[in-house]
Each structure stands twice: as C-alpha cells, then as structure tokens.
C-alpha cells in the first residue's frame, strides 16, 4: 500500500487548468519533494489530495483510503501545513494548538510546550500579532503535534530563516524516522534536496519527471566551460563554437564572447577529442546544480 | 461540538450586545403603555396606517395588544438582522479569512462543520429571543405595571424564534453559495429588511395583501397570537419548512463546494 497514490488525477477550475493526469505513487516512509514553479499545480494537487477541492476526474488515495469518500478518516492520520498561514486572529498560539489537538481527542500540552520551546515560538502571543515566520512555525507545530502518519507541507520553507528551516528539517527527519511519510512542495529545489529521497517535477499541471535525487546527480551531466585563445581568428572562433555546441550529448549551450558554456551528458572522451583539436585557453568541468538539471527538464518538456 | 463551543465563545459579545439592546428597546417601548391616550392617538393616524399596524383588530387597552401593534414587528426585525448577520458570516467569514483550510485539514466531514455552525446559530438566536422576551416581561411588570398572560408572551417568543431561524437558514444557504463575506453581509441585511417592508406595506392595502405570504414575519405576526392566545399550527409548520429548505440547501452546497483559490 502506498502512502499517497494518484491515478490520472485531474482538476479544472471551470475552464482554467489546475492539474492534468497526475500520477504519483509515494511509498510509506518516503520523503518526497514536489517541485515546480508558481502556478504549476503543486497546491492544486495537495488541495485535491485533502479534498479541499473535488477532482474533475481521476482518483487519489492516502494509505489506501479514497481522498473524497474517506476524507475525514484521512484527516485523522495526516498533518497539513498551508502555504499561507491564516488562523483565527483572536486565539493565542497555545489556544490554537489546543484547539487543533482537541479534534483528535488528544491532550498534547507537553509536546506542544517542548516543540514551541525548540522553535522559539511564544505560546501566549495572539495569532494576529505573529510575524510571518512565527505563523509558519505555528502551522508546522499544529501539523506535527498529533504525530501524523503522513505529513503534507505546502511550501514549508517560505517565510522561515535558514536557522529555522534547519530546525524544521531536523523535525521532519525525526518524524520520518518515526515512520511518517513526508510530502513537501517547493519551488526552490536546492532548499529541499537535502532531505528528499525522490522528487517529482510538475510543470503546467503535468508531472514531467519523477526521479531519485541520487539518480539525478548520477545522470552524469557536467557543466563545461571553454574559452578560446586570442590567437584564434574570428572565422575560426565561430567554427569552433559551432563545433563545440553541436557535439552529440550537449543538452544545453550558450556562447558568449570567446567562450561557451555547455551542459554535457555525452561521453567525456568525445568531448576531449574534439577539444584537443582546438586552441583552448581555459577549461573547467564541474558538477551542475540540481537546479540546472531541472531547468533542463523544464526546457525539454 | 468543538466548532459549536468555539463559535459560541467567539460570538458571545455580539450576542450579549444585540440581545440586551433589543430587550431594552422592548422594555422601553412597553413602558409607554397606559401613559398615552390611545383613542385620541388612533384617530389622528391615517386609515392605511391603522390597518398596517392592526389597530382595527387589536385591543389596545391590553398591554399585549399595545405590544402587538408595533413592538413585536420591531423585535422581529432586530432579531432578523442579528440572525441573518451571524448566519451569513458563519461560513463565509472562514473562507474570506482562509481559516477554513484549518478546519478542512481536521478530522471532520463537511457536514459536521455545517452542523457545528448551524447549532451555534440556532443557540444564538434562541438565547437572543429568550432574553428579549424576558426583557419585555420585566418591562411589563416593573415599568408598565400591567396584567398580562405569560403564555402568550412565550408564544410570541416561539414565533420570533421560528421566523429568525428561517431567515438564518436562508442566510446560511446564501453564504454557503458564496465565498466572500463582503457579498454575504448586504444579503444578510436585505433578507430581514425586505421581510419587514413586505409585511408592513402589504398589510396597508387589500390589493397587495397576497404579498404578505412571502414574508416570514407574516407567519410570526403578533396580532393572531395575541388574538388567539397561541400560534396557528400551519404557521409553525410553514416556518419550519422554510428553515428545513434553507438547512438542506446549505448541507448540499457546502459539501460539494471547492475551497476558493
């Protein structure tokens, strides 16, 4: 049984596209990153999973329970962090956490206190006096308080400073080692790549790639920068740039001035053989960032 | 149940302010009983107005006849505004404050959310009408110093409650069809105002008499109750039916509704 499974999940808001044919299969105990630019459909996917909105077609289950028919049973075992936190202004943080815990029939005051201390969150402050960061912390705390089996976080890093992001990731890893499945969305890959095992990329409502972080790094894409010497005349430079950029295995290239920058996925030997016939001043070969690898997916899809 | 108690706690100040001020109005109004010469006053009023306020039917020499003339319709209106105001805002305010996603993420069905809110509205309206009619009785006893039949007063209270619940149910149905409080509030005011206007205007002329059946206030009118000592059974049933329609529409629309983006 998967922690989260969707089959051709589709949501249109009237005629506006939300998500189209989203297929996901997330194992129990996974930490899954859901990556895409704004408006790609990350929140719509999450809102459909939680039955905030009804799917247009397709279906989704969480731990085998149908997201529409078993929604309130699902809520018992999940925790959710919204992208923009809006809670009852007239409550204090502590009151909100108590109100939240009461829906599960649990008394979690001790745990609430410990977590609040750890996140420097003042329990006696009113919600409407909280900074954006503290609102986010409140949201994270109310989501993990009842020890959910599946944690769904929509843009949890936004509004948190790096130190608090770090503490949140530690908390998520703890929850994960306890057995919780974690599904988090972000538009910034580098922020979540540290803790995710796999990531799915969504663009314009469709999943374009699901990959293990490890495999992404192993795809052997290299960033190659070459600069040609000044002794090369314009005619030869032009030809050389064309040759380099046209090599098989070059997935992305840009030329500027006397140099070229490539994202290269071909055989290293071929690249070296081609370069050895040219007058090169400078050559660097480096690991591309995951960001770049993803940009490559975006452009391809 | 948690939503119910939370809503009651959150709405207690509004409830106290509304019910105390309308109860004070009732006591103030009734204190004029016996302090003016009714026969003279009535002669000076145009005939249309006289029928509009049932001065032709009511015995203005009794304290409840005096109250039924124009006191009752004002508390119906005041309570109607209060009831539709809280009802219309009850679901819509969560959506425009976006706090609804908090409730949606808790182990509750949509129906349970509606039930909690509905119970809170009914409890608020019931407390309101109780306090208002308590105020009225205190006014009769201590200010007007008149004899009266308490049973009739509680019939008036029940009639008000049913009229208010039917308005609140319609207001709630309307608010579950929209997601912004700013749209729900004008509607909340329009419902009782229109009911009031229809009830007053339609009574004044025979040609528009049929319009009265459109106003929930007609079914809760004081003249019949004071005249008969109780509320007609068909009026009770009609108000309950209107409430049931509003409540059913609310459950139906709210449980099929998408959270506003």
Q: Which residues of A touch B112 (CB under 8 A)?
A: 72
What DSSP assignment string belongs to chain A? --SEEEEEEEEEETTEEEEEEEEEEE-TT-EEEEE--TTSSHHHHHHHHTTSS--SEEEEEETTEETTTTHHHHHHHEEEE-SS----TTSBHHHHHHHHHHTTT---HHHHHHHHHHTT--TTSBGGG--HHHHHHHHHHHHHTT--SEEEEESTTTT--HHHHHHHHHHHHHHHHTT-EEEEEES-HHHHTTT-SEEEEEETTEEEEEEEHHHHHHT--EEEEEEE-TTS-HHHHHHHHHHHHTSTTEEEEEEETTEEEEEE-S-HHHHHHHHHTS-EEEEEEEPPPHHHHHHHHHHH-
Interface test with B, best of A45, A73, A79, A88 (most B CBs within 10 A): A88
- Closest Cα in chain A to B11: A90
User: CA nearest B94 in A: which residue?
Assistant: A88
Are residues A255 and A242 located together in one domain of the fold?
yes
Contacts A72 to B, Cβ<8 Å = 107-109, 112
One DSSP character per residue, A65-81 reads: EETTTTHHHHHHHEEEE
Distance from CA of A261 to the nearest CA of B (A): 41
pLDDT of A301 above 70: no
Statement to judge: residues A117 and A196 lie in one domain: yes
B37/B44 Cα distance (integer angstroms):
11
Given B98, B102, B259, which is nearest A53 (Cβ)? B259
Q: How many domains does chain A have?
A: 2
Rounded to a whole number, what is the distance in Å from the CA of B104 to chain A's nearest CA? Answer: 7
Mark which of A185, A214, A243 sits at the end of a domain: A214
Q: What is the pLDDT along chain B (261 residues), one digit of tens a residue?
A: 789 999 998 899 999 999 999 999 999 999 888 776 666 777 777 777 777 777 777 777 788 988 988 899 999 999 999 999 898 888 777 777 678 889 999 999 999 999 999 999 999 999 999 999 999 999 999 998 888 888 999 999 999 999 999 999 998 888 887 766 667 778 778 889 999 888 888 777 777 778 888 888 889 888 889 888 889 999 999 999 999 999 999 999 888 888 875
Taking the C-alpha atoms of residue B64 and residue A54, their distance in angstroms, rounded to an integer, is 54
The pLDDT assigned to A290 comes to 64
The reply to whether A246 and A123 lie within a common domain is no
For residues A135 and A246, membership in a common domain is answered with no
Please tell me the distance from the alpha carbon of residue A183 to that of residue A48, in angstroms, as a whole number.
Answer: 14
Are the Cβ atoms of B104 and A102 closer than 8 angstroms?
A: no
Kindly report the CATH number assigned to the domain that includes residue A282: 3.30.70.100
B109/A72 CB distance under 8 A: yes
The whole-number average pLDDT for the span A212-226 is 80
A224 and A210 together in one domain: no
- Asked whether this complex has an ipTM greater than 0.90, the answer is no
Residue found by looking up tokens 């059974």 in the block: B233
**Which of A2-6, A225-229, B55-59 shows the lowest per-residue confidence on average (mean pLDDT)?**
B55-59
For chain B, the domains span 2-255
The answer to whether the Cβ–Cβ distance between B105 and A72 falls below 8 Å is no
The CA-atom distances, in angstroms, between B168 and each of A107, B119, B121, B255 are 35, 11, 8, 19
Question: What is the pTM (predicted TM-score) of this model?
Answer: 0.82
Same domain, A141 and A194: yes
Q: Are residue A85 and residue A108 in the same domain, yes or no?
A: yes
CATH code of residue A167? 3.40.50.300
Confidence of residue A300 (pLDDT cuts 50, 70, 90): low
| pLDDT beyond 90 at A170 | yes
Cβ contacts of B102 on chain A, cutoff 8 Å: 82, 87-88, 100, 142
* Chain A contact set for B99 (CB, 8 A): 86-88
Shared-domain flag, residues A94 and A28: yes
Indicate which of A18, A19, A41, A52 best probes the interface with B, i.e. most B CBs within 10 Å of its own CB: A52
pLDDT at residue A168, rounded to an integer? 94
Boundaries of domain holding A27: 4-214
A49 and A198 co-located in one domain: yes
Domain end among A166, A183, A214: A214
């Amino acid at each position: 049984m998967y922690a989260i499974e969707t089959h051709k999940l589709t949501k249109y808001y009237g005629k506006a596209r939300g998500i189209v044919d989203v297929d996901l299969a997330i194992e129990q105990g996974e930490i899954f990153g859901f990556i895409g630019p704004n408006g790609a459909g990350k929140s719509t996917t999450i809102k459909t999973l939680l039955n905030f909105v009804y799917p247009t077609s397709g279906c989704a289950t969480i731990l085998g329970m149908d997201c529409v028919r078993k929604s309130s049973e699902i809520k018992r075992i999940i925790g959710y962090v919204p992208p923009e936190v809006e809670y009852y202004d007239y409550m204090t943080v502590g009151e909100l956490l108590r109100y939240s815990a009461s829906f599960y029939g649990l008394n979690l005051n001790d745990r609430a206190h410990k977590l609040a201390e750890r996140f420097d969150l003042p329990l006696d402050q009113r919600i409407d006096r909280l900074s954006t960061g503290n609102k986010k912390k409140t949201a994270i705390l109310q989501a993990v308080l009842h020890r959910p089996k599946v944690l769904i976080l929509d843009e949890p890093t936004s509004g948190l400073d790096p130190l608090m992001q770090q503490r949140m990731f530690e908390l998520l890893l703890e929850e994960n080692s306890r057995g919780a499945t974690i599904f988090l969305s972000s538009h910034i890959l580098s922020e979540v790549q540290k803790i995710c095992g796999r990531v799915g990329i969504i663009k314009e409502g469709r999943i374009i790639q699901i990959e293990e972080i490890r495999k992404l790094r192993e795809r052997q894409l290299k960033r190659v920068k070459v600069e040609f010497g000044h002794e090369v005349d314009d005619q030869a430079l032009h030809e050389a740039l064309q040759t380099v950029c046209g090599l098989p295995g070059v997935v992305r290239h840009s030329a500027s001035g006397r140099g070229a920058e490539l994202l290269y996925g071909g055989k290293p030997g071929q690249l070296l053989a081609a370069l050895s016939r040219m007058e090169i001043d400078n050559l660097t070969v480096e690991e591309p960032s995951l960001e770049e690898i993803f940009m490559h997916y975006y452009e391809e899809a | 149940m948690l939503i119910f108690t939370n809503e009651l706690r959150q709405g207690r100040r509004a409830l106290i302010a509304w019910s105390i001020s309308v109860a004070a109005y009732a006591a103030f109004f009734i204190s004029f009983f016996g302090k003016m010469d009714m026969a003279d006053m009535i002669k000076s009023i145009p005939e249309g107005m006289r029928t509009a306020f049932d001065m032709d039917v009511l015995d203005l020499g009794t304290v409840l006849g005096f109250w039924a003339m124009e006191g009752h319709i004002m508390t119906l209106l005041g309570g109607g505004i209060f009831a539709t105001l809280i009802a219309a805002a009850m679901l819509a305010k969560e959506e425009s404050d976006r706090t609804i996603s908090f409730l949606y993420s808790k182990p509750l069905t949509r129906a349970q959310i509606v039930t909690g809110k509905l119970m809170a509205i009914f409890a608020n309206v019931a407390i309101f009408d109780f306090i208002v009619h308590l105020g009225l009785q205190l006014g009769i006893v201590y200010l007007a110093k008149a004899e009266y039949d308490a049973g009739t007063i509680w019939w008036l209270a029940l009639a008000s409650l049913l009229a208010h619940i039917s308005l609140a149910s319609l207001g709630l149905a309307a608010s579950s069809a929209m997601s912004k409080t700013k749209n729900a509030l004008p509607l909340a005011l329009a419902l009782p105002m229109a009911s009031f206007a229809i009830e007053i205007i339609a009574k004044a002329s025979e040609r528009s008499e049929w319009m009265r059946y459109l106003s929930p206030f007609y079914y809760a009118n004081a003249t019949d109750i004071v005249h008969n000592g109780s509320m007609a059974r068909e009026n009770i049933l009609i108000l309950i039916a209107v409430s049931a329609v509003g409540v059913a529409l609310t459950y139906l629309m709210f449980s099929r509704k998408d959270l506003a983006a």
